[in-house]
Structure 1
């Protein structure tokens, strides 16, 4: 019998990894002077990455 695991754990992992990835990307864009490193930019990027990953992996 196979188990897919608890979806809450997958969502929490997705949120943490999306936040880390978004922080690195926004920091890199800030370093290249293409965007500012701000909470709003990190949150926006995190929402985009989280939703795309959720739609691709969990649906």
Structure 2
């Protein structure tokens, strides 16, 4: 095995565009999980009520920010 092969993994990773649907799906899942954590924590300390509307609002905001940063 030759580690100096220019057509190896590094070249393939640099040329790969990937599937943007995977990035969007990961963004949705991770934003939702993080929003649940944030909303629960804020509800625990009494800053806001832990409910579906607040959690969804936080998730949408997180998704939008992550989407804007990743573009």
Q: Same fold (TM over 0.5)?
A: yes
Normalization by structure 1: what TM-score?
0.93
Query: Which structure has the bigger radius of gyration?
Result: 2
Within a 5 Å distance, the mapping from 1:1-59 to structure 2 comes to: 1=12, 2-57=15-70, 59=71
Runs of 4+ in 1 over 4 A off after TM superposition: none
Query: Which stretches in structure 1 are left out of the alignment for 5+ residues?
Result: none
Normalization by structure 2: what TM-score?
0.78
Report the RMSD for the aligned CA atoms in angstroms. 0.8
**How many residues matched?**
58
